[in-house]
Structure 1
Amino acid sequence: MAALNTVLLLLASAAIVSAQRNPEISYISQDVVADIGGTAELKCSVQFAGSFPVLWIKKGKEYGDEDEQKDVLISTNSILLARESRFALRHDPESTTYTLQISDIQDTDQATYECRCQINLQTSVSGTAELTVRLPPVISDNSTRSVIAGEKQRVELHCHATGFPPPEITWRRDNNALLPTGSAIYRGNVLVIHNIKKEDRGMYYCVATNGVSEGSRRNVAVEVEFPPVISVPRPTLRQALQYDMDLECLVEAYPPPRITWLKEDIVINDNSHYKMTTFTTTDQTTDSNLRVLSVEYKQYGQYTCRASNRLGIAEAQIQLTESYEPVCPPACNVYGGAGAVLPSVTALATALVAVVAVRR
């Protein structure tokens, strides 16, 4: 600031050599809004300036003693002082208009610009113009990224964004599913879910838009903790002897469940009679399959699919009974004419052993 005052003192002193009518600002640009990379012009017309210096000054901002930004002297009369290639100055003597042009606008150009005619050390006339830079939305780091909650809890999803004009915040769900509010779109920084249910789980989208760009989006994963819920696509199955059969149960649970299969209260493990496979279809849905290999008489009966996590246990039963004809799939593949069946590899092996024994 001291350096700027020294310059002003020298300029004003040079002008106070003759009396003249006091200058006045007859026109200054209204507040200007520009896009990043664009061009802005600030105009200032001064009447009766005479030999008094006319200055363009970029005003600093006071953030505190350490972060204070100082005023920057850009030009005096028709002389550009700022060493910045993006700045240009035009002077029209007839209208005594000084035009400050800023090209390739940057966010740091946003500031208050003062046009000042310095009369003496204590006296000056001035006007200001605010240059505002349109900025695309940027979602703030303090916005919600993910949430894990128990059923019936109250959940708040926060989304905040910077930018100019101030961004509008909207909420959506994956695949445009309805929000817990009952609508497909919710406008506001905070989406509140009262008494959250397991059906409310999934991906939510916070979208910030202000017309400057396509906007900004953040995915917010919402997980709901709940005890296992089991569904059985086919609770009763029939299969012929020596053919394979698949028993299936679908389990919804979070945290992920531990799944076990039982027959008559005895836990089943992988062996020559059974093969278990489990895979996750979604974050909270698990498909468990028990394949009964080459069904024997002792394998008919009731099976239990049991799922458990720290919130609870669930069970579902499947009944396997005898059929006089093989059921496809998975027992066989169709080949030849309609209705023809191909036994499982195990069944073929068993039949081959029987034929060999007869021949002996």
Structure 2
Amino acid sequence: MSHNICGYISFLNEILILLLNYVGAKIIKLKFKDDPIFIGRESNVTVVLGRDASLTCKVENLESYKVAWLRVDTQTILTIGHHVITKNHRVGVSRRDQSWSLLIRDVRPTDGGRYMCQINTEPMITQTHHLHVSVPPDIVDSDSSGEVIVWEGDNVTLHCAASGTPQPTIIWRREDSAPFNVGRETVTKWSGAWLNMTTVTRDMNGALLCIATNGVPPSVSKRILLHVLCKPTARFTQKMLGVYVGETMQLKCRIEANPPPTVYWTHIDLNKLYNGSKYQMSLKSQGYKHTAVLRVRNMSRDDIGSYYCYVENSMGSARDDITVYTLATTTPISTELTTALEDVTTTPLQTYAELEVKEHDPDLQFPDEDRIVVVLSQHQMQSLDFSPSS
């Protein structure tokens, strides 16, 4: 009986010694060693799409505890200590002194979100970091306007859709930077995904640019062609033109038309002219503006008169005309007239124009040589003596 009591007392002593040792260890630990703590605050990290991201937490007094990184939204464990747990090959981990960094290479939009740095203390302590992925702007072609055709005088609405993070802003402008009408305003640029232009004129024919930007380079743009259909107009910059006999004449007809027009030329009796050795015709176009050129070689008196520039397209037709006359230079005059002129203070005689506008008259005959014409003022006429010569 006494033997059992002694054994029981010995067992109690051993338990007491273990408890004292455990309490002593805890006291020593509290006295000489602190639990791990985070240094610094939670962070917000912004990275451009395709670049590498690094999220870092700093830990003091880590000792034998472990640092783990988790993705909050999916509760996925990414790393524990120096080991990568996830199968995502773009994820890595590194340690430098007290800093533990989660590395994400070639960042994608889906990588954005909250990441937790966790230490396996009891209770567990955590720190959350936010990763924001910036995405450069991109034009969404399927939701944006393409090539547009509109009648002159009508209204037109264009749309430009863009994606990106942050959401891009849209600015419209003409490719040639010229002003345009939006409602009652005349502007050189316009902000917004929609562009509503009123009473479109032919000079709006051309390209507009919708430019998307969100602060993440590069900005992007889409070129939208606007075709304004308009009736033709034809115009010569002058109504009369003087040319020298024997030289080559060139006429230019200024045309506005869309769709591009058909152009032909006629002379006097509306006979159509054709390309050949005598006539050469060409047409140069830039947008809705065109220049029709007629060259007539070796001008003669038969070539003077009116020339017509005819223009037509599916919207209508137009024409304009120009009158061509011959130029002549003065030739030597008689000695008596020369002497008389020397006594008169005049400006030098200049080239003059013979306005011999040819009518369509088969009986009309022209002399073989140019007539000599001298143009004098009234004072000069009074100073001359035109007495009959013997």
Q: Could you tell me how far 1:266 is from its partner in structure 2?
A: 1.8
CA offsets per residue over residues 203-255 of structure 1, 9 Å max, x none? 22221122221411222222211011112123211123222211110111110
Alpha carbons 1:56, 1:76 under 8 Å: kept: no
Partners of 2:256 and 2:298 in 1: CA distance: 30
Residue 256 of structure 1: aligned partner: 260
Residue 102 of structure 2: aligned partner: 100
Match of 1:233 among 231, 237, 259: 237
Alpha carbons 1:34, 1:105 under 8 Å: kept: no
Match of 1:312 among 316, 329, 337: 316
Q: Give the alignment's TM-score, normalised by structure 2.
A: 0.63
Secondary structure of the residue that 1:233 maps to in structure 2? coil
Alpha carbons 1:56, 1:73 under 8 Å: kept: yes
Check if 1:39 corresponds to 2:78.
Answer: no
Partners of 1:244 and 1:85 in 2: CA distance: 76
Change (3 A) 1:91 1:265: same
Residue 294 of structure 1: aligned partner: 298
Alpha carbons 2:53, 2:107 under 8 Å: kept: no
Partners of 2:53 and 2:118 in 1: CA distance: 25
Partners of 2:166 and 2:208 in 1: CA distance: 24
Check if 1:183 corresponds to 2:187.
Answer: yes
Partners of 1:313 and 1:267 in 2: CA distance: 16
Alpha carbons 1:109, 1:131 under 8 Å: kept: no
Partners of 2:69 and 2:247 in 1: CA distance: 96
Q: Could you tell me how far 1:32 is from its partner in structure 2?
A: 3.1
Larger Rg, first or second structure (1 or 2): 2
Secondary structure of the residue that 1:176 maps to in structure 2? coil
Partners of 1:153 and 1:125 in 2: CA distance: 68
Change (3 A) 1:276 1:251: same
Secondary structure of the residue that 1:270 maps to in structure 2? coil
Alpha carbons 1:40, 1:105 under 8 Å: kept: no
Match of 1:278 among 280, 283, 289: 283
Residue 138 of structure 2: aligned partner: 138
Q: Could you tell me how far 1:44 is from its partner in structure 2?
A: 9.2
Change (3 A) 1:108 1:135: closer
Q: Could you tell me how far 1:179 is from its partner in structure 2?
A: 2.8
Counterparts in 2 of 1:157-168, with a 5 A limit?
157-168=158-169
Residue 85 of structure 2: aligned partner: 81
Alpha carbons 2:68, 2:78 under 8 Å: kept: no
CA offsets per residue over residues 67-98 of structure 1, 9 Å max, x none? xxxx75312466321353552155999xxx96
Secondary structure of the residue that 1:323 maps to in structure 2? strand
Give the residue type in structure 1 aligned to 2:328.
Answer: Y
User: Which segments of 5 or more consecutive residues in structure 1 lack a partner in the other structure?
Assistant: 1-24, 61-70, 327-338, 340-360
Partners of 1:161 and 1:265 in 2: CA distance: 57
Partners of 2:129 and 2:316 in 1: CA distance: 66
Partners of 1:28 and 1:110 in 2: CA distance: 21
Give the residue type in structure 2 aligned to 1:301.
Answer: G
Partners of 1:316 and 1:58 in 2: CA distance: 78
Counterparts in 2 of 1:118-137, with a 5 A limit?
129-137=129-137
Partners of 1:193 and 1:39 in 2: CA distance: 45
Partners of 1:108 and 1:98 in 2: CA distance: 24
Q: Could you tell me how far 1:109 is from its partner in structure 2?
A: 5.2
Q: Could you tell me how far 1:308 is from its partner in structure 2?
A: 0.4
Alpha carbons 2:115, 2:131 under 8 Å: kept: no
Secondary structure of the residue that 2:131 maps to in structure 1? strand
Counterparts in 2 of 1:55-70, with a 5 A limit?
56-57=70-71, 59=73
Q: Could you tell me how far 1:201 is from its partner in structure 2?
A: 1.8
Partners of 2:109 and 2:281 in 1: CA distance: 63
CA offsets per residue over residues 272-295 of structure 1, 9 Å max, x none? 432212222x12221111112212
Cα RMSD after superposing both structures? 3.8
Partners of 2:90 and 2:113 in 1: CA distance: 20
Partners of 1:148 and 1:81 in 2: CA distance: 58
Q: Give the alignment's TM-score, normalised by structure 1.
A: 0.67
Give the residue type in structure 2 aligned to 1:131.
Answer: L
Check if 1:267 corresponds to 2:272.
Answer: yes
Give the residue type in structure 2 aligned to 1:57.
Answer: R
Alpha carbons 2:70, 2:116 under 8 Å: kept: yes
Alpha carbons 1:28, 1:44 under 8 Å: kept: no
Alpha carbons 1:57, 1:75 under 8 Å: kept: no
Partners of 1:303 and 1:155 in 2: CA distance: 39
Match of 2:247 among 243, 246, 252: 243
Match of 1:199 among 188, 200, 203: 203
Percent of aligned pairs with the same residue?
A: 23
Residue 150 of structure 2: aligned partner: 149
